[in-house]
Amino acid sequence: MAGPNSDAVSDDDSAHDHEDDVLADQLSTDEVYQRVVADADHEITSGTRELFFSALAAGFAITVTFLLYASVTATAETKIVGVLLYPLGFIYIIIGGYQLYTENTLPPVALTLERLASIPTLFRHWLIVLAGNFLGGGLGALALAYGGVFDDATAAVALGFAEKGIATPASALFVKAAFAGLIVAGVVWINFAARDTVSRLLVVYLAFLAIPMGNLFHVVVSFTEVVYLALVTGTNPVPALVGFVLPVLLGNTIGGVVLVTVVNYYQTSDRRLEIERFRNVRRLSLREWLAGSLAGRSYVPVIDTVEEIVRDPEAYRILVPIANPRTEAGVVRLACQLASSREKGKVHVVHVVQAPRRWSPDAERVQRDRISGESERLLEDARRIGANHDVALETSTVVTPRSFEEIFTLARRTSPDLVVMDWDREGLWSSARAERPLVELTNRLPCDFLVANDRGLDPSRILLPTAGGPDSDLNAEVARVLREVANAEVELLHVVDDAADERAGEAFLRDWAADHGLDDAAITVDSGDVEPAIARAATDSTMLMLGATEQGLLSRLVHNSLHLDVVNDVDCSVLLAERPSERSIRERLFGSPSRDRHPAAAFRGRADAAEPRAETDG
């Protein structure tokens, strides 16, 4: 839990400063609720990595509770001495701002009740936190089991904790866990109401002290105890997980959600979210709330007509997000050309409009109608382009405080096969306000991406440099389509390090062209530096197609670190392609291996063998 001050609410401190307030030093229920929901909005839009590792730290911190509770209980004459140290691990979690599952039964649920987050997103949030907690607790149990931390007496006490829980009937476990869930979620609520650190620490300590004193159960502690039992005794943990941990999990969840979240929600007034942060935010529709993937204030556009689109799962869908329909007709035309080659090709053009910073409540409906009407008028040109290419073209309007990140939200919501967009520093690139790191977004592409540097987008003479790889495969598919629908002439280029490898480069290109249906394409092999060679070959071209390097493409574009001078050196349009790639955990931790930059080397033998035959024929 990030804490009540992690995302300050701008308006919620004003009411209690008025002189006529009877309790000037106490937040109202509405004000506490505002703090809870504002913090939940921050947390639920966090990236998976940040959420998981925060939960992992919380799970490992629970090991401190297990360690001290067992160690002190084993050496003390009375149980109460060991109980006094039980809350220490939870204090670490609260002060450290880590994510604990039982704490997440309050803030994200409150956001979901407000229909600012969907139910599937809530479950996703819970699963990530629970997985991190369990892994952290499991690693802690592993360290305690094999690290020589416990002596024999302490180990016997630690085993007794799990054995006692396993021997408890499931119905009693559920009820006891429900009370524990009530206590933990109540701590979260009071934590947002408290004004100083000392008060929060006292509340946390006393509340978590009640769990062992009342013989209650906490799911992460119980999971850690079961893993320790399985590691030390070698018993099968599955029966204990089903008969012990699962009832505790259900009880903690129900106790936190029903007894605290719902009760606190209904004791607030209708003005509970009348603060600047949530002013004029569109609630999710019932369909989005039940089955969507939206989450958080910034994930909910002010205007969104995307849901009106009827999806055909058999269609080949191309998503075209644009910021200015007047200047981005070229990418719409390119998308229509690509879709026209498919039996069920469809183009979905989405006008992404940057939301005004402030909306006047009195003029809200007028502003929405004006923006929607203007967008519909501008999108008429896109619809005419679709009609000219005999392609099914749909249009939508999204007004959002974000822009670039909205592209990825749209792609995940609509599940297209391809995204075609314009690379314009004055458009969707420059006005982005991302809630998550752009590196995380752009390294996990939901589909194929084509990014066009539009200088007319004339496909009549295409230059396609390639050294192999999935991004070149995507370029080849696009080139084949443009050859069919726009009579494009395609030239393939491969650059080798040394002139001695040029014959091997030709052999590689011919083999690659045959594999990609471009046998009749012109072939050019050059040697030396790659970018100057591309610039020389592109002199008479109208379109240059480039694929991503192993460092990625979109992530480098949004950070303005794409060191491809050739994009600016050539006069023709440039089409940049990137295909999604799955990276292993090892690659995410230590980096991806470089792709083979010398594919022609494998063809040296073939080129050498062909040379004598050519001389004999002469």
Domain boundaries along the sequence of the chain: 29-267, 309-453, 455-546+556-573
Q: Which two tokens stand for residue 441?
A: 């977004």
What is the full DSSP assignment across 281-297? Answer: PPPPPHHHHHH---BSG
Residue 602 pLDDT grade (very low, low, confident, very high; cuts 50, 70, 90) = low
CA distance 382 to 330: 10
Q: Under a CB-based contact definition with an 8 Å cutoff, are residues 497 and 526 in contact?
A: no
At residue 350, the pLDDT reads: 92
CA distance 16 to 21: 6
CATH 3.40.50.620 fits 455-546+556-573, yes or no: yes
Task: Report pTM.
Answer: 0.57
CA distance 126 to 136: 15
Residue 568 pLDDT grade (very low, low, confident, very high; cuts 50, 70, 90) = confident
Q: Which residue type occupies 478?
A: V
At residue 509, the pLDDT reads: 93
> 574 pLDDT exceeds 50?
yes
Fold of 309-453: Rossmann fold (3.40.50)
What is the full DSSP assignment across 336-390? Answer: HHHHTTSTTEEEEEEEEEEPPS---TTTHHHHHHHHHHHHHHHTHHHHHHHHHTT
At residue 601, the pLDDT reads: 67
At residue 310, the pLDDT reads: 62
Q: Under a CB-based contact definition with an 8 Å cutoff, are residues 573 and 541 in contact?
A: no
Q: What is the pLDDT of residues 406-439, one digit of tens each?
A: 787 788 778 899 999 887 655 454 544 444 444 4
At residue 594, the pLDDT reads: 42
> 118 pLDDT exceeds 80?
yes
Contacts of 522 (CB under 8 A, 6+ apart): 489, 490, 491, 492
Q: Do domains 309-453 and 455-546+556-573 have the same CATH topology?
A: yes
At residue 304, the pLDDT reads: 66
Which of 296-310, 334-348, 513-527 bottoms out in mean pLDDT, i.e. has the lowest?
A: 296-310
Q: Per residue, what are the HEC states of 69-88?
A: HHHHHHHCCCHHHHHHCCCH
Fold of 29-267: Glycerol uptake facilitator protein (1.20.1080)
Nearest to 96 by CA among 2, 185, 183: 2
At residue 578, the pLDDT reads: 86
At residue 402, the pLDDT reads: 66
What is the CB-side half-sphere exposure of residue 203 using CA atoms within 13 A?
A: 20
Which of 124-138, 343-357, 509-523 bottoms out in mean pLDDT, i.e. has the lowest?
A: 343-357
Residue 14 pLDDT grade (very low, low, confident, very high; cuts 50, 70, 90) = very low
At residue 442, the pLDDT reads: 55
> 541 pLDDT exceeds 70?
yes
Q: What is the pLDDT of residues 30-44, one digit of tens each?
A: 778 878 877 777 677
Q: Under a CB-based contact definition with an 8 Å cutoff, are residues 276 and 11 in contact?
A: yes
Q: Which two tokens stand for residue 564?
A: 């491809």
Average pLDDT over residues 108-114: 85
At residue 146, the pLDDT reads: 92
> 147 pLDDT exceeds 70?
yes
Q: Which residue type occupies 312?
A: D
What secondary structure letter does DSSP report for 260?
I
pLDDT > 90 fraction of the chain, expressed in percent and rounded: 39
At residue 445, the pLDDT reads: 78
